[in-house]
Amino acid sequence: MKKILILCFLFAAALPVWANVVMHGNYYAHHQLGEDATPAEKTAREELLSHLRLVFGRITGPEKNIYIGRSPHCIRRFGKKRLDALGEEEFLIESDNKGNIYITGGRPRGTLYGVYYFLDRLVGIRWYTPDFTYIPKLKKLELGTLKIHEKPKFVYRCTSGGFVPHRYSGHRPDPRWAARNLYNNTNAAHHRQHVSDEFGGEYLWSLPLRCHGMIELIPSKIYFKTNPEFFAIHKGKRVGRGVASDYCLSNPALLEETVKRIRYFMKKMPGARMVSVQEGDYTVAPCECKGCQALLKKYVNESGMWLDFTNRVAEKLEKEFPDVIFVTFAYDRTQKPPQNIKARHNVGVQICAWGISRGVPYDDPRNTYRGKKFVDNVIKPWSRICKNLVFWDYIFSPGHFSQDPNPMIQVQNMQMFSRYTKLGVFNENGLGEFLNGQPFKSFLMGRLEWNPFNVDAVAEHKLFCDRYYGKGGKYIFEYWKNLRDVNEKQGFCNILLGGTIGKIPAEFESFETTMKSYQLYLKALNATKDSKIENARVRNAFIGMQYHILLNYKKWKKDLQTHNINIDDVYQALIKRLEEIDAEVGTADSTERFIGSVKKLYSMRNINASASNYYGNSIPERAYDGNLKTYYHGGVQRSWCQREFDNPVEIKRLITVLAGKNNLSCTYKITGSLDGKTWFDVVKESKAVPKDSHNYLFADDTLPKPVKVKFLRTTVWKVILPQNRINDATLHEQFINPTELPKGLIRK
Report how far apart, in Å, the C-alpha atoms of 36 and of each of 71, 194, 589 are: 9, 24, 45
Cβ atoms within 10 Å, residue 40:
26
CATH code of the domain containing 127: 3.30.379.10
Q: Are residues 210 and 116 in the same domain?
A: no
Burial state string for 706-725 with b = 16 or more CB within 10 A and e = fewer than 16: ebebbbbbbbbbebbbeeee
pLDDT of residue 190: 65
pLDDT at 706: 97
What is residue 433's predicted lDDT score, i.e. its pLDDT? 61
Do 124 and 226 share a domain, yes or no? no
CA distance 361 to 405: 12
Establish if 471 belongs to a structural domain: no
Any alpha helices (H) in 118-233, and if so which ranges?
A: 175-180, 214-217, 220-226
**Do 102 and 228 share a structural domain?**
no
Give residue 245's pLDDT. Answer: 94
Total count of domains within the chain: 3
Chunked mean pLDDT (size 10), the chain, 748 residues: 38 48 64 86 94 85 82 95 98 94 96 98 96 93 95 95 42 78 84 79 93 97 97 94 95 99 95 96 93 98 98 99 98 96 99 87 88 94 98 76 80 98 91 72 95 98 98 97 87 65 64 93 98 95 90 92 96 91 65 80 92 84 93 89 96 96 94 97 96 92 97 96 84 96 87
Last residue of a domain, one of 286, 321, 356: 321
Domain annotation covers residue 160:
no
Q: Verify that 19 and 142 share a domain, yes or no.
A: yes
What's the pLDDT score for residue 584? 76
Residue 243 lies in a domain: yes
Please give the Cα distance from 651 to 708 (Å, whole number).
6
Q: Are residues 216 and 311 in the same domain?
A: yes
- Tell me, yes or no, whether 312 and 237 share the same domain: yes
The verdict on residue 112 lying in a domain is yes
Predicted local confidence at residue 15, as pLDDT: 42
Can you tell me the distance from the alpha carbon of 604 to that of 48, in angstroms, rounded to the nearest whole number? 55
> How high is the pLDDT of residue 693?
87
| Domain range for 122 | 14-150
Let me know whether 23 and 138 are in one domain. Answer: yes
Question: Is 458 among the domain residues?
Answer: no
Find residue 126's DSSP bridge partners: 134
- Residue 233: its pLDDT value, please? 97
146 and 238 in a single domain? The answer is no
Which among 118, 150, 182 is the end of a domain? Answer: 150
The reply to whether 146 and 231 lie within a common domain is: no
Residues 217, 146, single domain; the answer is no
pLDDT for residue 33: 83
Residue 4: predicted pLDDT: 38
Asked if the structure places residue 488 within a domain, the reply is no
Q: Is residue 719 part of a domain?
A: yes
Same domain? 22 vs 146: yes
Q: Which of 107, 127, 150 is the last residue of a domain?
A: 150
Q: How many other C-beta atoms lie within 10 A of the C-beta of residue 345?
A: 11
Residue 38 lies in a domain: yes
CATH of the domain at 723: 2.60.120.260
